[in-house]
Structure 1
Amino acid sequence: MELSVLNIKGEDTGRKVTLSDAVFGLEPNEHAMYLDVKQYLANQRQGTHKSKERNEVAGSTKKIKKQKGTGGARAGSLKAPLFKGGGRVFGPKPRNYSFKLNKKLKDIARISALSLLARDNKVTLLEAFTFDAPKTKEFKNILSSLQSNGKTLLVLPAVDKNVVLSGRNLNKVKVSTASDLNTYELLNTERVLLVEDSVNIIENLLSA
C-alpha cells in the first residue's frame, strides 16, 4: 500500500511512502486482537476491592435469641449475612487480574489492528513536526486541517514533550510513540496519524 505524506496544513508534500504488506496488509486475526485487548484492560485493574465477611465484621457474637420456640429460623449472631450490618457472603477479595500472553501473539494482534485500519483507509501519513512550546490551539489547528474530528491517535517516532503536552487536554486525542503502540489504542480510535519516521520503527519492530 502506498500513501501520500501530508504536511500539518493537510497539503500533499509530493512524497509517497510504501507500507509493508507484512505489517499493514495481512488478514486481521480477530481472536489475537481480542486476547490482547482483554489483557490490556485486565492489567489496568487495581484489584483492591474488598468486602468484610462475617468473621471480619465488628460486633457481638452473643446469640440473639433462643434456638427453638420462636417460630423463626435459627440465628446465632448479628454478624450473619442475612442481618443488616452483617458480613457479606463470598464477597470480593484483593486479587491480581493480570495475565501473560505470548510475545508473538501480541505482535500478531498489533499487525492485525494496523492492517484493519489501513484496509479501512484510516491511516494518514504526516510530515514530521514539532512545537517550540506546548500549544493546544496549534494542535487543534493541525487536526482541523487534516479534518480529523473524531478519536485520533497520533504516533510519534520518539517522545516530543511539547507535542505530548499540546494534545494532553484534548478528550478525543491520544499521543503515543511507535515503540509503545498497543492493540487497544489502535482499535479505540477512528483515525491514526503516523508521523513519517514512525513507519520504519513500527515495521522493524513487527516484521521481525
Structure 2
Amino acid sequence: MKIKIQTLDGSAAKGDIELNDAIFGLEPRADILHRVVTWQLEKRRGPARAARERSEVARTGKKFGRQKGGGTARHGDRRAPIFIGGGKAHGPRARTFGHSLNKKVRALGLKMALSAKAKGGSLIVVDNLDVASGKTQTLAGQLAKLGVNRALFIDGDATNVSFARASANIGGVNLLPVIGANVYDILKHDTLVLTRAAVEQLEVRCNG
C-alpha cells in the first residue's frame, strides 16, 4: 500500500511511502479490537486500598469495662469501629480488575487498529512535526490546512519538542512517541498522523 507523504501544512510534496500490508493492510476484526481495548481500560483502573476491619486490627481483645454499672454502653474490646484505632466498619476491600492478554493478541490488535485507520482513509503520513518557533497559532493554521481536528500524532523515539509545545493548548490534538502507540488512543481519535520515522519504527515493533 502506497500513501503520499505530506508536510504539516497539508502540501503533498515529499513523495510516497510504501506501507507494509502485514501491518497496515489487515482486515480489522471487532472482537480482537474489543478484547485489547477492554484489557487496556481494565489495566488502567486503580483499585482501592483495603482498610482493616474489626477482626484485622491489632488491639487487645480483653473486655475493658464492667458489663453493668459503668454508665456507658457495653463493649467487649477496643477493636470496635466506634473507637479511635478500631477497625473500619464495612471498609473498602482490595480488588483487582486487570486480566492477562496474550502478547500476540495485543500485537495483532495494534496492527488491526493501524489497518482500520488506513482502510478508512483516516491515516496521514507527514515528513516531520517541526513547528516554527513552537507557536500554537502557527500550528493551528497548519492543522487547518491539513484538515484534521481530533487527531493523534505519533512521532519516533522521542516526541518533537516544538510540536509538543505548540499543541499543548489545542484540544483534541495529542502526541505520543512510537513506544506509546496503543489501540485505545488510535481508535479514539478521528485521524491518525504518523511521521516517516514512526512508520519505520512501527513496522520494526510489530515485526519484532
Q: Same fold (TM over 0.5)?
A: yes
Q: Distance in 2 between matches of 1:140 and 1:25?
A: 31
Structure 1 residue identity aligned to 2:27: E
Q: Distance in 2 between matches of 1:143 and 1:14?
A: 17
Structure 1 residue identity aligned to 2:166: S
Contact 2:48 / 2:92 at 8 angstroms: preserved in 1?
A: no
Q: Distance in 2 between matches of 1:28 and 1:195?
A: 22
Report matched runs for 1:66-105 at 5 Å: 88=90, 92-105=92-105
Indicate the residue corresponding to 1:183 in structure 2: 183
1:100-137 per-position Cα deviation (integer Å, ceiling 9, x unaligned):
32211110000011111111000011121324654222
Indicate the residue corresponding to 1:119 in structure 2: 119
Matched, 1:155 2:154: yes
How far has the Cα of 1:36 moved from its partner?
A: 1.5
SS of equivalent to 2:28: coil
Matched, 1:173 2:173: yes
How far has the Cα of 1:201 moved from its partner?
A: 0.7
Indicate the residue corresponding to 2:199 in structure 1: 199
Contact 2:122 / 2:192 at 8 angstroms: preserved in 1?
A: yes
Structure 2 residue identity aligned to 1:43: K
Indicate the residue corresponding to 1:84 in structure 2: none
Gapped regions of structure 1 (runs ≥ 5):
64-78, 80-86
Greater shift after overlay, 10-19 or 133-142? Answer: 133-142
Distance change >3 Å, CA 138–CA 51, structure 1 → 2: farther
Structure 2 residue identity aligned to 1:153: L
Contact 1:30 / 1:112 at 8 angstroms: preserved in 2?
A: no
Distance change >3 Å, CA 201–CA 61, structure 1 → 2: farther
TM-score w.r.t. length of structure 2: 0.76
How far has the Cα of 1:55 moved from its partner?
A: 7.6
Gapped regions of structure 2 (runs ≥ 5):
57-71, 76-81, 83-88
Instruction: State the superposition RMSD in angstroms.
Output: 2.7
Q: Give identity over the alignment, percent.
A: 23
TM-score w.r.t. length of structure 1: 0.76
